[in-house]
Structure 1
């Protein structure tokens, strides 16, 4: 993911990565919590055009074929939840380590 990516794209990437992690678990039900309502609304689209949305829908379908279920739950934003406000601040700070960035880097 490039540094120019939107918050929306970042949230979709996070959901896709969480689903990938769940595919290796023995759990029959896995839950993803997010405060980004628009990503959940987009996932509900029957024929998404966004490539990450297509990937998410494919992953969820494949998990269902394995008898597993992914639940996507919208939670209130981090406001007032101890620890989460600090996480929000940290997430908005640029990384001091350029190798932590995804995508091509100049050498």
Structure 2
């Protein structure tokens, strides 16, 4: 009876270990693919038009700054986020989550 339970525990441990290893590899590959695609987008946009690339980066920075301001300010009770403020806050949240993901999983990427 004890040997069966011990064998079942070892089997569960091995399944969890393999599952975590596979998940780590998948997340690493996603981080590398995301880094490569962001680099490719930057390269292609710069080769198309450097001025438009700088203007687009500036506009995106302003949009994300507005989203950060909307995310961290103290909203009044009678006002809700609407329209552009909600989209900017969502864009900032998505960019922040992507940055955290790349910080944790893209730092050990072999593609750099």
Q: Which has the higher helix share?
A: 2
Same fold per superposition (TM over 0.5): no
TM-score (norm 1): 0.27
Q: Which has the higher strand share?
A: 1
User: Could you say which structure has the larger radius of gyration?
Assistant: 2
